[in-house]
Structure 1
Amino acid sequence: MTTTTTAHDLGRRFHAALTSGDWPAIRLMLHDDATWTLPGDNTVSGTVAGADAVVERARKIASYGLSFELLHILVSRENMALSLHNTARRPDAILDEYLTTVCRLRDDRIAGIETYLSDVPGMNAFFV
C-alpha cells in the first residue's frame, strides 16, 4: 500500500518532471501497463495505454506551450491527484482551464491516470 507521504512525494515529482520536460523521470514513475484518459474530442483526448504512450501524451501536451500551475496535491488512502490551472496562448486560441489529474497508484508507482477538466470545449478548441 502506498503511504500518503509517498503519494504526495510522487505527485510533487510528477509535476516537477512535467514542467521541466523530464520525460525519462516520468517514465520511471509509471508501471509498464499505465493508462491515461482525457475527455474531449481533440488530438490529446481518449485513452492511451502503456507507459511510453503516457509519456508521449505528456510530451505532446507540453509541446503546446502550457503553463502547469500546481494548486494542490491531494492524497487518498491509496491514490493521489494533482489540482492544476493550465494556461497557454496561441494567436488563434487561449487555454485557461482548471483540472484534476487523478493517479491510481500501485506499488508506489502510477498505474492509471484520469483527468477531469473544467472546460472541455476550450480544450477541444486549443488542442487541434
Structure 2
Amino acid sequence: MSQYEAAQQLGTRFHALLTVGDWDGIRELLTDDASWTLPGDNTVSGTAEGADAVVERAKKIASYGLHFELLHILVSRENMALSLHNTARRGDVRLDEHLSTVCRLRDGKIASIETYLSDVAGMDAFFV
C-alpha cells in the first residue's frame, strides 16, 4: 500500500469512527501527544493537547448532534485532510459549515489536527 493510500485509509477510518462515536477507535488513530486546534471563541475552540483531550473534544462536538458529511479526503506527500460539510440544529440555532480538517501524520497515526472553518461566527453561536 502506498503512503497516499495509507493516508486516505486513515482519513476514511477517522471519519467513520467519528460518525458512530467510537472514541476508543479514534484514540487508537492518535499519537499520545496529538493535538487539535479549532478557531473561534466557544466551548470547543482552542487547542486540545494530548490524545485523551483530542478524544474529549471529538465527544463534545458530537454531543451537539452534528451530521459529519465527508466530501473529500485530500492527501499530500506526508499528510491528509478531510473536507467536510457539518450541519446541526439546536432549537432555533442552526449550524451549516464547510471545513477542512488538516491532519499531520507521524508513524501512520494522527499527530496533530488543525480545523479551518467557513463560518467561525456561526460556530461561535452554535457551540455555547
TM-score computed with the length of structure 2 as normaliser = 0.98
Counterpart in 2 of 1:60? Answer: 60
1:1-128 equivalences under 5 Å are 3-128=3-128
CA deviation string 1:47-99 (max 9, x = no partner): 01000000000000000000000000000000000000000001131000000
Distance in 1 separating the partners of 2:75 and 2:52: 25
Post-superposition CA distance 1:6-62 (Å, at most 9, x none): 000000000000000000000000000000000000000000100000000000000
CA-based RMSD of the aligned residues comes to: 0.8
- Tell me the distance in 1 between the aligned counterparts of 2:46 and 2:91: 26
Aligned length: 127
SS of residue paired to 1:78: coil
Gapped runs of 5+ residues in structure 2? none
The runs of at least 4 aligned residues of structure 1 exceeding 3 Å deviation read none
Q: Secondary structure at the match of 2:97?
A: strand
Point out the more displaced range, 110-119 or 84-93. Answer: 84-93
Three-state SS of the structure 2 residue aligned to 1:5 is helix
